[in-house]
Chains A and B, each alone.
Chain A
Amino acid sequence: MPNFARLATRRNFLLGLSLLMLALTPRVSFALDVDVSGGRINPLPIAITPFLAGGGAEEAGATLNEVISNNLGRSGYFEPLPQNSFIEQITDFNQEPRFADWRQIQAKALVTGQVYVDGGKIRVEFKLFDVNSQQQIAAQQFSTSPKNLRRIGHLASDVIYKALTGIDGYFDTRIVFVDETGPKDRRVKKLAVMDQDGFNVRTLTDGSELVVTPRFSPNSQEITYMSIGQGTPRVYLFNIETRQKEIVGEFANMSFAPRYSPDGQRVIMSLLTTDGRNSNIYEMDLRSRQLRQLTNTPAINTGPSYAPDGSQITFESDRGGTQQIYVMGVDGSGQNRISFGNGRYSTPVWSPDGQYIAFTKQAGGRFAIGVMKPDGSGERILTEGYHNEGPTWAPNGRVLMFFRDTPGENGGPQLYSVDITGYNEQQVQTPGFSSDPAWSPRLN
């Protein structure tokens, strides 16, 4: 059972929360309904009305509505009400809604909008209302190329989410992952990116090499990953726009498990030792290409991940006999073990707000995704089963994505997301089997 009391003290969220206002609108108090004892969030009923559209923009309006409803509903914090339950039909964007009609269907929040084509561009406006206080609490306008329509939906979703929860949204983001096809003993693996809602999937490599563990750079146009192909398996940098790749260093020995530093200036990774027995963690400065060794133990040291303030690194090591999680200073000092539960701990990933380290835990033949505080306390399991692995954080620290594998010849991995509370587990639809997801920063 998630420890909800702890969550309640975190940053105003969910209990007695206050709204973020956009400029010029009056301040209003707003509470998201929460059942504290159960730890479960009661989703906020929200009415997202069909966007008014004319002159060829009808399909765009429907798409926007779908993107926003889907985002808010999948977050688990909102319940988009069915359009066929609406009493008032909005026909004039500039007219105040009949709030009594919306109260009657139990809507707590109301979204109205309009979209029209203007020259070669598409223009979108929306308003968010608090039904009980009858106040407009957010509004935004967008003007952009029609191909960016779904992104407008994601940006609007972020505005609505933040206005009602006080927390930054996570919808204007992408996922990089590995697309898997072919038989299980001969998988073809390709790098792929998609919007966080599963749309706009693009594969980036051709499958001629085994690619694993891709991660975004903070500027989101570059990915680092590891490839097992011809020659020494190694870490690469890949530019999404130019599709150009380069090796991150001319290492004689295998390099793997790469991640960017929070400022994007460095890549941290594991290098196999010269004697081929062990792996240590190294940091490479991408400008000077200078290499700095951070661990030096006769062990497998891997899976490094920076704290968001760049002052510390978490990693996994079997120096004590089994895989466990450690934390050290960014200069490699003070390497301390933080995992002490019953099992093997691996793939540690620091949350964007610095409060948690997520991990994979193996015990008794089962694989779990969990979180703990950076001092190792407060361990909480979010999901557990046959095989769950490799968590990644949404930029707002509220949602994690991971992959779940299924056994046997016809089994394969799929992507799943789950809320930090452990609730609202959702499969993320992808074209085929998928693994090793990594979440981008916010794109805007």
Chain B
Amino acid sequence: MILRNLSGLKIAVALCCVLALTACSKKNTPNLEASNAGLGAGASSPGSEADFATNVGDRIYFVVDQADLTPEAEEILSKQAAWLQKYPGVSIQVEGHSDERGTREYNIALSARRATAEREFLIAQGVEANRISSIAYGKERPAALCDAEQCWTQNRRAVTVITGGARTS
């Protein structure tokens, strides 16, 4: 998902794999999904997407029908903010999402609220507003597909996607 919006970066990653031949296998995996679980061993040089995914965490979760930030969410976002301030050239898009156990239009609006909640927190932590765009996906892009609360929980999320300026190694 992170590679989807970054055609420039995708090319840079491919070049990296041609040249370096070694620890690029993880980056070359299609549908690279950064998650808070991290990617394990592999190159994650400071300021890269992998660094962000592995060491910071790219997503936060919400209570059903809510857009309030939980304490856990604020902790992750604080780390994101710190990382973004360390690498001031990086721009991001915040994606808001909702679970499928709701109706179409309301979920679009609710997911927008969630994206806004994250964006405002990051701004309050000192990240410049013009580095952060946001988009609402409603229930259209679930991350987990099982029919149970444990999956719906994973879908009520806001995901921070790097859109430019990260190190490409």
* A185-B115 contact, Cβ under 8 Å, with A279-B109, A303-B106, A389-B104: no
Q: Pick the contact of B105: A186, A278, A302, A362 (CB < 8 A).
A: A302
What is the distance, in angstroms, from A370's C-beta to the closest C-beta of chain B?
13
Per a CB cutoff under 8 Å, which of B67, B120, B136, B146 touches A409? B146
Q: If the complex has contacts A365-B101, A389-B104, are A228 and B137 also in contact, measured as CB distance less than 8 A? A: yes
- B103 pairs with A228, CB closer than 8 A: no
Considering the chains assembled together, what is the distance between the CA atoms of A102 and B5 in angstroms?
68
C-alpha spacing A365/B141, complex, angstroms: 21
Known: A184-B142, A185-B143, A256-B109. A346 touches B136 (CB 8 A): no
Cβ contact within 8 Å between B103 and A360? yes
Q: Shortest CB–CB separation between residue B94 and chain A, in angstroms?
A: 10
Complex contacts, A184 vs chain B, CB 8 Å: 142, 145
Stretch at the interface among A35-43, A44-52, A85-93, A269-277: A269-277
Q: Is the CB of A212 within 8 A of B104?
A: yes
Which of A185, A256, A407 contacts B141, CB < 8 Å?
A185
Task: For residue A194, give the distance in angstroms from its CB to the closest CB of chain B.
Answer: 20
Residues of chain B within 8 A of A347, CB atoms compared: 103-105
- Whether A276 and B115, one on each chain, are in contact in the complex, defined by CB atoms closer than 8 angstroms, is yes
Question: Residues 220-263 of chain A: 1 if any B CB is under 8 Å from the residue's CB, otherwise 0?
Answer: 00000010100011000000000000000000001011000000
A323: Cβ under 8 A from any B Cβ: yes
Given known A-B contacts A187-B140, A212-B140, A409-B145, A436 and B104 have beta carbons under 8 A apart: yes
Q: Tell me the residues in window 106-135 of chain B with beta carbons closer than 8 Å to chain A beta carbons.
A: 106, 108-110, 112-113, 115-116, 119-120, 134-135
Q: Which of A264-313 contact B (CB under 8 A)?
A: 270, 272, 275-279, 300, 302-303
B110 touches A300 (CB 8 A): yes
> In the complex, are the beta carbons of B106 and A302 less than 8 A apart?
yes
Min Cβ gap B145→A in Å is: 4
Q: Answer yes or no: A195 CB below 8 A from chain B CBs.
A: no
Give complex CA distance A286, B67 in Å: 34
Chain B contacts with A in 25-75, Cβ cutoff 8 A? 65, 67
Q: Are A302 and B135 in contact (CB under 8 A)?
A: no
Q: A168 in the interface, Cβ–Cβ < 8 Å?
A: no
**Complex formed: what's the CA distance from A212 to B100 in Å?**
14
- Bound-state CA distance A227–B101 (Å) is 21
**In this complex, what residue of A is CB-closest to B65?**
A322
Q: Report if B89 contacts A (CB, 8 A).
A: no
Per-residue CB contact flags for chain B residues 70-106 toward chain A (1 = under 8 Å, else 0) read 0000000000000000000000000000001111111
> Is A125 an interface residue when CB atoms closer than 8 A count as contact?
no
Cβ of A390 under 8 Å from chain B: yes
Known A323-B106, A347-B103, A436-B104: A276·B145 in contact at CB below 8 Å? no
Does any Cβ of B come within 8 Å of A172's Cβ? no
Point out the residues of chain B lying under 8 angstroms from A409, CB to CB: 145-146
B7 to chain A, nearest CB (A): 12
Contacts of A179 in B (CB 8 A): none
Asked if A210 is an interface residue, CB under 8 A from chain B, the answer is yes
Q: A407 and B147: CB pair below 8 A?
A: yes
B106 adjacent to A316 (CB under 8 Å): yes
Chain A residues contacting B104 (CB-CB under 8 Å) are 212-213, 347, 389-390, 436
Whose C-beta in chain A lies nearest to the C-beta of B67? A277
Is there contact, CB below 8 Å, between B116 and A275?
yes
| Nearest A residue (CB) for B141 | A185
Alpha-carbon separation in the docked complex, A278 to B112 (Å): 8
Which 5 residue pairs of A and B lie closest in terms of their CB atoms, listed nearest first?
Answer: A407-B147, A276-B116, A257-B105, A300-B109, A409-B145
Contact sample, A vs B, 30 pairs, CB 8 Å cutoff: A185-B143, A210-B140, A212-B104, A212-B108, A212-B138, A212-B140, A213-B104, A228-B138, A232-B135, A254-B108, A254-B112, A256-B109, A257-B108, A275-B116, A276-B112, A276-B120, A276-B134, A300-B110, A300-B113, A318-B106, A322-B65, A346-B106, A347-B105, A362-B101, A362-B103, A389-B104, A390-B103, A390-B104, A407-B147, A411-B147
Other CB < 8 Å A-B pairs besides A189-B140, A213-B105, 12 of them? Answer: A184-B142, A212-B140, A233-B135, A270-B109, A277-B67, A277-B116, A278-B109, A322-B65, A362-B103, A387-B100, A407-B147, A409-B145
Please give the residue numbers on chain B whose beta carbons come within 8 Å of chain A beta carbons, in ascending order: 65, 67, 100-106, 108-110, 112-113, 115-116, 119-120, 134-138, 140-143, 145-147
